[in-house]
Structure 1
Amino acid sequence: MDERDTVAILDHVLAPGADDEDPSSVTCAHTEEESARSLKPPFSCLKPVTVEPVIFLSTFSIALQGPLFTQYLWDRISEDVGYNGSKSSECNTSQPVDPLQREVETLTAHWNLYINLAGLSLGLLVVPFLGSWSDKAGRRPLLIIPNLGLALETVVYLVVMYTRLPVGYFLLGRMLSGISGDFNCILASSFAYIADTSDRRSRTIRVAILEACLGLSGMLASIIGGQYINPCWLVLVTRLASALYSYLFVCESVPIDPSVRLFSTCHHKALWKLFSTGGSQSTGSFHKYKLWLYTFCFFVVVGVHSGCRDLYVLFVLSSPLCWGPELIGYGSAALHLSYLSSLLGLKVMTRCLADSWVALVGMLSNIAGLLVFSAANTIALMFTGYGLLLFFAMTTPVIRSKLSKLVDPTEQGALFASIACVESLCSMVGYSVFNSLYPATLHFMKGFPFLLGAIILLLPSGIIWTLECLDGRHERQLNTKRENED
């Protein structure tokens, strides 16, 4: 196994007609006319752009709504318990924290947990069916249906905000989104689409571009934020636009089987077969263990990211920082800018480092940023932490690429369905652990969840380093064997 494969991938430039014989090449025409009519969207394909606008618009809506939703919960719960959150005299002083403020922080963290769990738990049940079903039913439905579910979620949120209903009604919106697959289903179908329409050499750069779209859209959403109700209308429009674009412009990437059933045990059997045997390309038990270990690393890394994401806003809302919407927007923009800097770092570092070492650099960046956040009590320290997260997003695209290359092209749908399940599960675990831990540790260390996240990330770092050493030793043994044979 060539551990420096990302260098060739990043240097590869797709040329017209470069892969004319590749059956996964992006095209609106298929060999059978009947199949072509069913796969072609109403308008012509937009090459080389495919699902990138879908990811951009969907992530934009998620990044715009997240901080607004947390701020609304904070203000609404403050009003219910009688806490005057606008008092700035409590910030940047050595006086004890107001008990009402601590109660608001605790209730906000708990409601964030309950509402997110409502959507994530349903998504965990739905995504395996939808992901594996898309192998035969097509990718386009999984780009349209979840966006419509997210739009319904926003409608419910707007109704709750305008009518001043109890915050418990937000659960209904999250459940509607979870039943339709939620944002994780959009991610899974988009990455599966890229796997369908790219060869092994170009896949990593396409995956990295998708991850950069995540950061760029999140940065834009953070800058244009504001008070929670008016931007929610923009969230609704964006989600509807993403679904409309998928219907009008995205070509289908897999042949459609009209006889495929959504509710069938064969979808779960495909996932079980992949991870129980290591896939069609398995060369032994070590290959299967690598698939499991890289999946576990992905679980831990994304779990820490998900768990800390909501806490960034909650952490700076209260004393001693007491940030307003403007500073929260700038901080979130700095965080999402890391996706673009990570893309640049990935391209530069892979010229002199193997894939696994690039992933470890990203992990080190993440750990350093979380350690600074754990002790941050000034604006300067917070933005120092954001600066140290410069390359934190380099880890996940490398892991996705390694997982994709461990399985056969015919197993990409099952793989990304399993990754979608992992993302749903790790988001649920991350939300549960960190949103429960934050109020429980306020009395002795407000930034303890960030410190714990940094410590947890040492585990996948050690696994990736160990696998790199084992692969290097295996490669040296193969080279020695070839030399002896010669």
Structure 2
Amino acid sequence: MKGLYLVEPVVALYAFSSFLIYPLVQQYVYRRLWQELTNTTYPISGNTSRCAPRNISSNHTNFHELVQREASLFSLYTELLSTIPSLIVTLMLVAYSDRGGRKITIIMPLIGSFIYTSTFLTVSFFELNIYLLIGSSFLSSLFGGLGTFLGGCFAYIADLCKDERQKTLRMAGIDMMIGLLSGVAAISTGYFLRAAGFNWPFLTSAMFQCLTLLYAIFILEETVEKPPADSNISDESRHRSTIKHMIFGIYHIFAGASYRSKVALVLLLSIFVSFSFAYVGGMSLVTLYELNEPLCWTEVLIGYGAALSTTVFLTSFVGVSAFTYCGVPQLVIVLLGILSVTTGLILLAFAKTTPLMFMVRLPMLLSIMPFPVLRSMMSRIISKSEQGALFACLSFLESLTNNVSSAIFNSIYAVTVAWYPGFIFLLAAGLCVIPLSVLGVVALMGVDAASEYKRPEPNTTAEESPVEDVNDNSPLLS
């Protein structure tokens, strides 16, 4: 049976299974910590807010501050312990995919996710110590993480797409697919939790992850042709060659490029990393903020909020498609996305009521646009044989940035939650000034790296070099 060159179903199933439990993770930890720290039953209400009525206990506010602080620290410990192994695996696997194939970068994180979800199900079902979840996070990180998975998927698409517009739209389509399926999962999570508790959502997620794994192994076709094995080369020499390729591949991206290409790549990487730091760091605290006073959202409201937040993937895809079709410069698309996030974060810091908390999502409808556009711009600079090395570098930096930002923002939130919970969102909005400034530098330089990067593919004849998508003569600013 011939396989399919469609990675989108893998992304869709992965997004649905992950976001089915993602809103539940913090809620589960929050409830367990509430029971352990306060020796009281977690307040569950059918009202729109658990803060009504406010006369539950004279220590009600103190309980919230204590549990908020411990929950944020729990997230901090989880991030710190899983960051390093996940980064190392991401860097090695995605870079190795240039030679060993893209599927390994997709299959390994799926195995890790299944282990993580299964551990949550076990801890929830048997009511084991919640700190076992930190250990499961570390174990699953040894198989890579979201950065490994997305890095492999984006490199997979880069292998298939010759046209620059097609590449941008398919990469934006991946983000849209994440938003659509995660939104469906998130909006059902609250009702699922209220009707069946934590166990059934975890079990359902594990079943979908098994289905995704089967598709990736048996149906998804490989895009990289593996070189034939040389019987004269020993296994030890082959392993040394593989490790050398993984390390040299990332080095060669910068060493073999022209000066203007290096400048363009470094500046675009700076925008990508700094924007990701501010955006992920701020949005990682939204669920805790919603659980805290004065909002005190129920699981149903949290599900609606998460679903509304994920619509930004769809609206951002529509935005990228429309702006690209109309010929809007790519840097302008990135600018609009950053401004969208900055505005939403500022409003989020002052949202104290449920209607306002829903409304602040509206200014952030274009917030995902910078990510696929920047990936496509950087992919254009790099030759086809180095796409894996590029996305390994991107995934490594993205995973490092996301984990570090989550850890830093969680620790700051634990300190500031008592006097002003919304401070963390103002901080994230302020940090958006960094990518905006670098974007201004790129615009002033008028960098046109794509037309200068003409390095031929390795091991190609004069008739075969170079590939079309590398020699795209359209400038980065068009």
TM-score class, shorter-chain normalisation, is 0.7 to 0.9
2:459 alignment counterpart: none
SS in 1 for 2:361: helix
Residue 342 (structure 2) pairs with residue 385 (structure 1):
no
Match of 1:209 among 159, 169, 173: 173
Deviations 1:35-56 (A, max 9, x none): xxxxxxxx32336xx1001111
Structure 2 unaligned regions, length at least 5: 230-234, 451-478
2:211 alignment counterpart: 241
SS in 1 for 2:446: helix
2:247 alignment counterpart: 268
Q: Structure 1 pair 92/387, CA: closer, same or farther in 2 (3 Å)?
A: farther
1:289 alignment counterpart: 263
Deviations 1:147-167 (A, max 9, x none): 012101111111111221211
Shift of 1:93: 6.1
Q: Structure 1 pair 445/191, CA: closer, same or farther in 2 (3 Å)?
A: same
Question: How many residues are matched?
Answer: 426
Residue 305 of structure 2 aligns with an amino acid whose one-letter code is G
CA contact (8 A) 1:117 1:431 kept: no
2:87 alignment counterpart: 124
CA contact (8 A) 1:132 1:267 kept: yes
Tell me, in whole angstroms, the C-alpha distance in 2 between the residues paired with 1:273 and 1:331.
Answer: 44
Residue 387 (structure 2) pairs with residue 433 (structure 1):
no
Shift of 1:369: 0.7
Q: Structure 1 pair 446/244, CA: closer, same or farther in 2 (3 Å)?
A: same
Tell me, in whole angstroms, the C-alpha distance in 1 between the residues paired with 2:263 and 2:445.
Answer: 12
Tell me, in whole angstroms, the C-alpha distance in 2 between the residues paired with 1:66 and 1:120.
Answer: 18
CA contact (8 A) 2:270 2:438 kept: no
CA contact (8 A) 1:374 1:451 kept: yes
2:465 alignment counterpart: none
CA contact (8 A) 1:144 1:244 kept: no
Residue 133 (structure 2) pairs with residue 170 (structure 1):
yes
Tell me, in whole angstroms, the C-alpha distance in 2 between the residues paired with 1:472 and 1:419.
Answer: 20
1:444 alignment counterpart: 419
1:250 alignment counterpart: 220
CA contact (8 A) 2:72 2:410 kept: yes
Q: If the length of structure 2 is used for normalisation, what is the TM-score?
A: 0.84
Match of 1:115 among 78, 85, 98: 78
1:18 alignment counterpart: none
Shift of 1:443: 2.6
Residue 43 (structure 2) pairs with residue 86 (structure 1):
yes
Residue 55 of structure 1 aligns with an amino acid whose one-letter code is V
Q: If the length of structure 1 is used for normalisation, what is the TM-score?
A: 0.83
Residue 454 of structure 1 aligns with an amino acid whose one-letter code is A
Residue 189 (structure 2) pairs with residue 219 (structure 1):
no
Shift of 1:473: 10
2:29 alignment counterpart: 73
Tell me, in whole angstroms, the C-alpha distance in 2 between the residues paired with 1:473 and 1:97.
Answer: 59
Shift of 1:308: 2.8
Shift of 1:287: 2.1
1:22 alignment counterpart: none
2:274 alignment counterpart: 300
SS in 1 for 2:43: coil
Coordinate RMSD, CA, aligned = 2.2
Identity rate of aligned residues, in percent?
28
Match of 2:288 among 301, 314, 322: 314
CA contact (8 A) 2:50 2:298 kept: no
CA contact (8 A) 1:51 1:250 kept: yes
Deviations 1:351-379 (A, max 9, x none): 15211011100111111111111111001
CA contact (8 A) 1:66 1:310 kept: no
Match of 2:199 among 200, 205, 229: 229
Deviations 1:272-300 (A, max 9, x none): 2323x2x4xx332x321221121121112
Q: Structure 1 pair 261/57, CA: closer, same or farther in 2 (3 Å)?
A: farther
CA contact (8 A) 2:69 2:417 kept: no
2:473 alignment counterpart: none
2:159 alignment counterpart: 196
Deviations 1:297-316 (A, max 9, x none): 11122223332333111100
CA contact (8 A) 1:92 1:321 kept: no
1:484 alignment counterpart: none
Tell me, in whole angstroms, the C-alpha distance in 2 between the residues paired with 1:251 and 1:463.
Answer: 39
Q: Structure 1 pair 399/89, CA: closer, same or farther in 2 (3 Å)?
A: closer
Residue 413 of structure 1 aligns with an amino acid whose one-letter code is G
Shift of 1:96: 8.8
CA contact (8 A) 2:345 2:426 kept: yes
Deviations 1:420-465 (A, max 9, x none): 1011101111111111111111132111111111111111012112
